[in-house]
Structure 1
Amino acid sequence: MQPLAGTGPFPAPGTDPSHARTRPVHWIATAAALALVVAGAALVQPADATATTSAPHPPTSDGGAPDAHAAQYPLDCGRAAVDVVQKGTADFDGDGRPETVAVVRCHAQAGTPPSGVYLLTPPAAEGGRPKVAATLLDPAQRMSATDFHVSGTTVSATLLGYSSNDVPRCCPDKQRAVKWQWKDGKFALTALPAPGSV
């Protein structure tokens, strides 16, 4: 069965091929009609549509404070990861930009690795890492920090330690509540009375 004249991919036999060619005026008319459709689509948008040049950044719960998970800490964990155990934020120096205090330790399947407590300030450049500006508790002191809180310009915690190397690392037998108070541009450490002391 042959296709009907004018419906196939080629001109029907006996017709003049010059009539099958598209003339420039046809292309101009098609382009003008397409431009009207595009312009009409651009004008018909939802009332709340806005133009943006980049995706909006979601708000952070810490109000723009340094990300504790993005910092590089002075810990030697070998191949183990660094765990951010706790964190808190406050504008300690009153410059209008919050800082972060993070309790971190090396990841371990068993035992209780010593904690480090660090003050983080915002990165120096856009997209950089937060800077470790101060060490409140050095892991070399071989203590763990629990009951961590940030209130105003005070950081408080309970430090757990060991009376000797014979005490299993799972079970600290010493504890002391401490607080770091921001004064005169630095943290001052205060040890609260030991449990059971007068």
Structure 2
Amino acid sequence: MQPSAGPALPHTRARSVHWITTAAVIAAVIGSAALVQPAGASTGRPAADAKAAEPAPAAVAPPDPDAAHFPLECAGAPVDVVDRASADLDGDGRPETVAVARCHSETGTPPSGLYVLSADPAAGADPRIVETLVDPKEQRSFKGLRIDGRTVRATVLGYSTDDVPRCCPDQQRDYSWEWRSGTYYEIPGPLANGV
């Protein structure tokens, strides 16, 4: 190894002054980067003149089917809401209620209708029917009404002939109704052999 010619260069010997100066420069760069922020950035602390945060909007209550008027001809008998389920079916941010309603009867199984109810945003407005999924004229009844996500599901009970007593439906089929392109699409399942 040959000896180096000439005196040692200043940057080859680290002195404490060199390290202190380097640390001070790095700290200054980091500190100034923390103070400079892009437009619209937040420091995480409210500004002195910022308005108080507005409270989150209250959850919208689903329509109450007991307050709705159903298009049933009950000859003076009251209307019974025998099942209900609620969810935001059409994605507008407000829940709808799906209700099974029929005329009250002490005997037999009167035909039921399956309705979708919506509530008018105006406070105190009665729920209104926005869709009839199954009309009572079809002589059907229902069991197992539920909503999966935005799909309405129920088992629809019916009669194979007019001779079958109205108390005892002898046919059943699972149905789904899905909201698509502004309307509800009915999707029937396979027909079961009997109830």
1:73 aligns with 2:70: yes
Q: Which runs of no fewer than 5 residues in structure 2 stay unpaired?
A: 1-57
1:110 aligns with 2:107: yes
Task: Indicate yes or no: 2:157 matched with 1:160.
Answer: yes
Q: Which moved more, 1:90-99 or 1:137-146?
A: 90-99
Give the equivalent residue in structure 2 for 1:149. Answer: 146
Q: TM-score, normalised to structure 2's length? A: 0.66
- In structure 1, C-alpha distance between the alignment counterparts of 2:60 and 2:107, rounded to whole Å: 35
Deviations 1:148-198 (A, max 9, x none): 1111111111111111121111111111111111111211001101225xx
Match among 77, 87, 91 for residue 88 of structure 2? 91
Runs of 4+ in structure 1 over 6 Å off: none
**Equivalent residue pairs, number:** 136
1:191 corresponds to which residue? Answer: 188
Give the partner amino acid of 2:159: Y
Q: Where does residue 3 of structure 2 map in the other structure?
A: none
Which residue is 1:28 aligned to? none
How many percent of aligned residue pairs carry the same amino acid?
A: 49
Calculate the TM-score normalised by the size of structure 1: 0.65
What is the CA-CA distance between 1:90 and the residue it aligns to?
0.8
For each residue in 1:68-105, what CA deviation from the matched residue of structure 2 results, as whole angstroms up to 9, or x when unmatched?
10000111111111111111111112111111110111
3-state SS of 2:106 partner = coil
Q: Which residue of 2 aligns with 1:174?
A: 171
RMSD: 1.6
> How do 1:49-64 residues align onto structure 2 when only pairs under 5 Å count?
63-64=60-61
CA offsets 1:108-148 (integer angstroms, 9 cap, x no match): 00000111010101136322211100000100000101111
Q: Which whole-Å CA distance do the structure 1 matches of 2:149 and 2:164 have between them?
A: 36
User: Which residue of 113, 120, 123 corresponds with 2:120?
Assistant: 123
User: Partner residue of 2:130?
Assistant: 133
Which consecutive unaligned segments of at least 5 residues does structure 1 have? 1-58
Inter-CA distance 125–78: structure 2 relative to 1 (3 Å threshold): farther
- The residue aligned with 1:24 is none
